[in-house]
Amino acid sequence: MTQQLTVLSSPEADASGGVPQVVASLPVSLHPADGGTPALVAIAGTRGWTEKALESLSSGARGLMVIGPSIADVTALRDRAQASSVPVVLDTEWAHNPAVDAAAPHFAAHHDENSLLEARVNAAAGADLDQVLLAQLALIRAAVEPVVSLTYARRNRHGYDALAQLASGAQASLTAVLTDALPTSAALRLIKPQHAVALALPGPATAAPGRVTVSGPEGATLLPTEWETAHRAAWRRLHALAQAGQASGDLGNFAADAALVAGTQ
């Protein structure tokens, strides 16, 4: 049986994560907090977010949603959340799009140490490059596997190009373009001699579906699409974890990605 959990969110989280709209779209699972201790708390991932998250845990929150987390030391928060079995879900820009889960088994079927992965994101002009890279690394981790090393070929105010190695030893190329001439989007493409898997994602604020195309000698197949925002999918996941009393692995994964970003600056 689905348990309805109350939600408290900061104005900054509302602005960046569309929290009121998500809560309104999940009335059976979520309800705005109107007093007392909220079950779920949403925090914007700006400077000081780990301290705010620890305060929420001390206040009795059963689950935390962090919207767009910036680089921070999450050791204390991770240990506290694991000890109390409280899930902390990190709502990064791309990783929770439902198309990512749909694409993952197809990437796994064709991915090996000889694969080449191409990753590209289009972000707004002036965006923080470290934040863009964090979101791109989270997407690659969710869809394929973690990036373990990264070297920039170019990094400037217009974006970056980088060469990377994945955990399996496979190679990847990462590109980010900062521009207002194109809509925010992300794409992954895995290329093999006879097969390819392509994932194309719109911005997280739209419910327009991601697209997964699997190609081979027999032709190309577009997988069924799911009309849901990445934000909404992230909240469904947080609700399920909180209802089950299970922690998440998001903070550990984030620590690894953040260390990689910090080491390549």
CATH 3.30.360.10 residue ranges in the chain?
A: 98-222
Q: What pLDDT was estimated at residue 242?
A: 97
The 10s digit of each residue's pLDDT in 70-105 is: 999 999 999 999 999 999 999 999 999 999 999 999
Q: How far is CA 181 from CA 123, 125, 133, 178, in A?
A: 10, 9, 20, 9
Length of the chain in terms of residues written: 265
Query: Which residues have CB under 8 Å from 149's CB, separation 6+?
Result: 164, 165, 260
Q: What pLDDT was estimated at residue 12?
A: 95
The 10s digit of each residue's pLDDT in 138-163 is: 999 999 999 999 999 999 999 999 99
Q: What pLDDT was estimated at residue 265?
A: 61
Which CATH superfamily, name and number, covers 98-222?
Dihydrodipicolinate Reductase; domain 2 (3.30.360.10)
CATH 3.40.50 residue ranges in the chain?
A: 5-93+230-263
Low-confidence spans in the chain with pLDDT less than 70: 265
Q: What pLDDT was estimated at residue 77?
A: 97
Q: Record the tokens describing residue 45, joined without a space.
A: 């991932």
Q: How far apart are the first and last CA of the chain?
A: 47
Q: Does domain 5-93+230-263 have CATH number 3.30.420?
A: no
Q: What pLDDT was estimated at residue 107?
A: 96
Q: Record the tokens describing residue 35, joined without a space.
A: 């007093």
Q: Other C-beta atoms within 10 Å of 125: how many?
A: 12
Alpha-carbon distance 189 to 147, whole Å? Answer: 15
Residue with tokens 């997280």: 204
Q: For residue 54, give the 3-state DSSP assignment.
A: helix
Q: Other C-beta atoms within 10 Å of 145: how many?
A: 18
